[in-house]
Chains A and B, each alone.
Chain A
Amino acid sequence: MTPPTETTARLSPAADSLRWLQRLGEVGANRDTAIAELHALLLKAARFEVDRRRAYLPHLRSGDHEDLAQQSADDALVAVLAKLDQFRGESRFTTWAYKFALLEAAVKVRRRAWQGREVPLEQEAWATLSAATAWAGRSAEDAELFTILREEIENGLGPRQREVLVAVALNDVPIDVLAERLGSTRGALYKNLHDARRKLRTALRERGIDLQGEEER
């Protein structure tokens, strides 16, 4: 019986990760082979993401889905190779690499789904806010909460905080789509959203709204 070689035996997660890093760090044909295998891994992840979000892209032809997956894998490969020195071994290398392909694919799908669509206007958000505050059938208190929240959103937030909160939290605009429209980043806009939420919670407390009670109702 032939003993298993390194390539045929199942490696431990740590050994498998080390092997990926070693092969990607070589020069010549071995590295080329490793890069091709890495691209195949990333393409698998990108196809997984595009497939599960296919319902958001009903207008695309079948070949367009594969194009999106291929572009995502290509972009993820560049990102992974550029960040190899940031892999800390806290997960399997494959898990670490997957997240880059999933991110690239998710962002591309969201942006393609919203291509040519207007970001909903601020006024359209108030019905959503009204529904959000009227959830326990306590009409008088719900109406007061709605009125105060609307006032604070309109008057208590800065323009960018209001824009991001209304788009993302009330109108369900994907944050990547909004970032592209505003020439910003997901992280920067989430900071705006985080600050807006904190400001609203503080303002509601100062106006006598018991947020703990609201959350526990």
Chain B
Amino acid sequence: MSDSGAGRGAPAALARVLGFDQPELSCEECFDQLDRYVELYLAGGEPDREVPGMRTHLDGCPACAEDFHSLRDLVAADREAEA
């Protein structure tokens, strides 16, 4: 999740090896919460407060981060078409 991975100081390559020393969701929990997280994100809410541990997981798991980006972009495109 490149947009949220930035700003934590560690370069991306080293962060990929060491991860982050913070609580995070599992892949199953991430998938379970992904739709809610994306809608909170697109609504300009506080997804990281509402779904603690999601951002750290997305920063550490490239596959789940890709799922997040795809769902975010697909739903955003739908919303644009509806507007």
Q: How many residues of B contact A (CB 8 A)?
A: 36
Q: Which residues of B contact A216 (CB under 8 A)?
A: 9
CA distance A48 to B78 in the complex (A): 12
CA distance A9 to B77 in the complex (A): 21
Of the candidates A48, A132, A186, the one whose C-beta lies within 8 Å of that of B16 is A132
Say yes or no: is A31 at the interface (Cβ < 8 Å to chain B).
no
Q: Which residues of B contact A119 (CB under 8 A)?
A: none
Of the candidates B15, B17, B35, the one whose C-beta lies within 8 Å of that of A90 is B35
Beyond A135-B14, A191-B26, A215-B8, 8 extra complex contacts between A and B, CB < 8 Å: A48-B74, A95-B39, A131-B13, A175-B63, A176-B63, A193-B19, A193-B60, A200-B17
Are B17 and A106 neighbours in the complex by a CB distance under 8 Å?
A: no
CA distance A102 to B10 in the complex (A): 30
CB distance from A175 to the nearest CB of B (A): 5
Say yes or no: is B6 at the interface (Cβ < 8 Å to chain A).
no
Q: Which residues of B contact A43 (CB under 8 A)?
A: none
CB distance from B7 to the nearest CB of A (A): 11
Mostly, the A contact residues are helix
Chain A residue at minimum C-beta to C-beta distance from B40: A91
A residues whose Cβ falls under 8 Å from a Cβ of B = 10, 45, 48-49, 52, 90-92, 94-96, 98-99, 102-103, 106, 110, 128-129, 131-133, 135, 149, 165, 168-170, 172, 174-176, 186-187, 190-191, 193-194, 197-198, 200-201, 204, 211, 214-217
CB distance from B20 to the nearest CB of A (A): 8
Q: Mark B1-40, 1 if CB is under 8 A from A, else 0.
A: 0000000111101111111010010111001001110110
Of A90, A94, A106, A175, the most chain B CB neighbours within 10 A belong to A90
Are A190 and B35 neighbours in the complex by a CB distance under 8 Å?
A: no
CA distance A98 to B68 in the complex (A): 11
Chain B residue at minimum C-beta to C-beta distance from A96: B35
Given A132-B13, A217-B9, also A197-B60 (CB < 8 A): yes
Chain B residue at minimum C-beta to C-beta distance from A90: B36
Are B39 and A91 neighbours in the complex by a CB distance under 8 Å?
A: yes
